[in-house]
Amino acid sequence: MTAIQASDLKAATREQWDKSAQGWNDQGALIRAWLREATGAMLEMADIASGARVLDVAAGAGDQTIDIARRVGPSGSVLATDLSPRILQFARDNARRAGLNNIETMVADGEGLDVVAASFDAAICRLGLMLFPDPLRGLRQMFRALKPGGTACVMVFSEPARNPCVAILAATALKHAGLPPRDPFQPGGLFSLGKPGLIDDLFTAAGFSRVATTKVAAPFHAPSVQDYLAFARTSAGPIQQILSQLDDADQSAAWAEIADKLSAFTTAGGWQGPNELLLTAGRR
Ligand SMILES: C[S@@+](CC[C@H](N)C(=O)[O-])C[C@H]1O[C@@H](n2cnc3c(N)ncnc32)[C@H](O)[C@@H]1O
């Protein structure tokens, strides 16, 4: 990817997440339930303890930021950073509503964090790094921000076959937008870091030691397929980005086909979409 392509992709990503900010925040309860266990495992792997200073990269509406702030307690603190000013405003509002005053926010590209070097005990990034055009740069920024001995942990989607609903969303949206199927592992895509071994190699290249990856099953539960669709239609920034070039009627046709395909995941107890996430940790 050239520097111009990367900067165009980043501008489009910021604009899209500004648009999806309200939806991601409104769907917070479903997202929280979906990622609860995996988030707990991520905070364990990042060795986040009472009193720690933690960097949260691509923090979004701050769901995991709040978990971290509670975990580090009043003697610790979290800096929540994100490319999108609008989604970060939700993180600020949610922190205030939760009565937490150990959270600061900073609008920042994760590939160019203006933070003091060696000033954080831990760094995390939940479902953000795969959207970076150059994830190695993002990991180098996290490495630089950590104190020696500090730990980073990153959560990303694994392979498309292990995340069939996300794969269906992406493939169907591309087809309706008249775009050719994409290499799922291309930089900046939802599965870009799901290629076996890739994220471990990037951690090592960024300078981390003791690099380890764990796979976590994170099925998405919703009362019905319509609830999952409501989540995807309002919050799935990368899918909305693909469909945004279509008029309303063509977008509706795309969502109707997606609904039809995703209905296959309806169970006796509601709708359940399988997902597999990778949690990768490394030490500075
Ligand atoms: C799927 S959301 C995840 C948000 C949050 N971490 C969570 O799990 O709820 C992806 C987030 O990554 C952010 N993002 C994408 N590219 C970024 C970049 N280059 N630097 C910082 N944030 C970025 C988006 O703005 C968005 O808030």
pLDDT for 169 equals 95
Is residue 143 a contact partner of residue 256, using CB atoms and an 8 Å limit?
Answer: no
pLDDT for 238 equals 87
pLDDT for 8 equals 84
- Of all atoms in ligand 1, which is nearest to the CA of residue 35? 8
pLDDT for 214 equals 98
pLDDT for 5 equals 80
Measured in Å, residue 58 CA sits from the centre of ligand 1 at 4
Give the residue whose CA is nearest to atom 10 of ligand 1. Answer: 128
Pocket lining: 58 vs ligand 1, CB cutoff 6 Å: yes
Q: Using the CB atoms, write b or e for 3-33: b if 16+ within 10 Å.
A: eeebeebbeebbbbbbbbbebbbbbbebbee
Output the pTM of the full model: 0.95
pLDDT for 6 equals 76
Question: Residues 6 or more apart from 250 whose CB is under 8 A from it?
Answer: 176
pLDDT for 7 equals 82
Measured in Å, residue 17 CA sits from the centre of ligand 1 at 8
Residues in the chain, pLDDT under 70? none
Pocket lining: 143 vs ligand 1, CB cutoff 6 Å: no
Is residue 272 a contact partner of residue 219, using CB atoms and an 8 Å limit?
Answer: yes
Question: Residues 6 or more apart from 172 whose CB is under 8 A from it?
Answer: 254, 257, 258, 261
